[in-house]
Amino acid sequence: MAHNAYPTLGLTIEAFIARLQTAQVPDVLSYAQKRNWVKNLLADLSSRNFIAPERKGPDKSFAEVLANLPEPMQLLLASLEDYTFSLGDDVQRKELRLYAAFKRLKNFATVVLHRKNCLLLYLHVDPATALPVLPNARDVTSIGHWGTGSLEVPLTSQADLDAVKPFINAAYEGKG
């Protein structure tokens, strides 16, 4: 979508202004005055929640973060993907806006590219079995988060990935 777009309308400001130039805008106004009139109208409608303002959230997409990911994290992500695909021919990877999911019939693992130079891996396994073994893991069963799974494991090194591999395998086999 173009810059300065209003998603609800699907138009850029300029396209919206062009449409309104033929509408009930006073003819005595110059083009600049009409443009300001329309901007004020849009601001007023937006403030009254008639028009959803352009999304300006802080969250970057998976592709944007991946493009700027440091090389060690890119290598760690590649190792994670290689291991996950080695589990079976039925493993599929689907990249969504904020994370990548690995699935058979259903997602068994998702990975979020965290800005703090780590990957956040979410697994569909029982956190109670993993928490004693993985000291950095946490139970996110009742915490809202991107991706799916009830166990969050931050990955910062190959050693972290090696430690979590049995749990990735358990999630793949549905034994979590």
φ, ψ (nearest 5 deg) of residue 152: -105, 125
Q: What percent of the chain shows pLDDT beyond 70? A: 66
Using DSSP's 3-state secondary structure scheme, residue 142 falls into: coil
Using DSSP's 3-state secondary structure scheme, residue 90 falls into: coil
Note the pLDDT of residue 55: 45
Joined tokens for residue 60: 């970057």
Note the pLDDT of residue 6: 42
Q: Rounded to an integer, what distance in angstroms lies between the CA atom of residue 122 and that of residue 149?
A: 5
Span 159-168, pLDDT tens digits: 999 999 999 9
- Positive/negative CA dihedral, 74, 75, 80, 83: positive
* Fold topology of 62-173: Aspartate Aminotransferase, domain 1 (3.90.1150)
Span 35-63, pLDDT tens digits: 676 677 666 655 655 444 444 456 777 88
pTM metric for this prediction: 0.65
Q: Rounded to an integer, what distance in angstroms lies between the CA atom of residue 126 and that of residue 4?
A: 45
CB atoms within 10 A of CB 168: 22
Residue ranges of domains in the chain: 5-47, 62-173
